[in-house]
Structure 1
Amino acid sequence: MSAELEIRMAQMAARFAARAGEHEAALRAAVAADDREAIASQAHRLAGIAGMFGQSEIGEAAAWLEEVVKIDGDYLAASELLSALLRGLET
């Protein structure tokens, strides 16, 4: 990977971490509204991008949440895990 690309990826990873609170707030709002479509959408988005920025644990938690929602399961534990991981990026 070129130095320029590494710098750009690091900048994008920093922006992802800086926006973790926004992602977490959107997730909490969707959960509070029991909006399964919005929960699945937010989880899908996070599952797709988190790993690219070195946040594989967030990506895995997001994929788990998306799957639980898709099978019409009880998603509260999965959403709490993902929320906690996102909050951990803010510190």
Structure 2
Amino acid sequence: MSAELEMKMAQMAARFAARAGEHEAALRAAIAAEDREAMASQAHRLAGIAGMFGQPQIGEAAAHLEDLAEAGEDYLGAAELLSALLRDLET
């Protein structure tokens, strides 16, 4: 990977981390509204991008939450884990 590409990826990873609070707020809103579709959508976005920016735990937690929300299963534990990982990323 070229130095320029590495720098660009690092910048994008920093932006992802800086926006973790926005992602967490959207997730919380979906949980509060018991909106499985919004929750699955938010989780899907996070699952798709987190790993690219060096956050595989967030990606895995998001993919798991998406699966649970879409299957109609209990998602609260998975949502709490993803929320905590996003909060940790902010600090």
TM-score, normalising length: structure 1: 0.99
Aligned pair count? 91
Output the CA distance in 1 between the equivalents of 2:90 and 2:70: 28
Q: TM-score, normalised by structure 2?
A: 0.99
1:2-81 to structure 2, matched below 5 A, reads 2-81=2-81
Once the two structures are superposed, what CA deviation does each residue of 1:11-45 show, in whole Å capped at 9, x if it has no partner?
00000000000000000000000011000000000
- Distance in 2, matches of 1:17 and 1:54, equals 10
Give identity over the alignment, percent. 80
Distance 1:27 1:70 in 2: 15
Secondary structure at the counterpart of residue 74 of structure 1: coil
Match of 1:84 in 2: 84
- Give the unaligned 5+ runs of structure 1: none
Query: What CA RMSD, in Å, does the superposition of the two structures yield over aligned residues?
Result: 0.3
Deviation at 1:70, TM superposition (A): 1.2
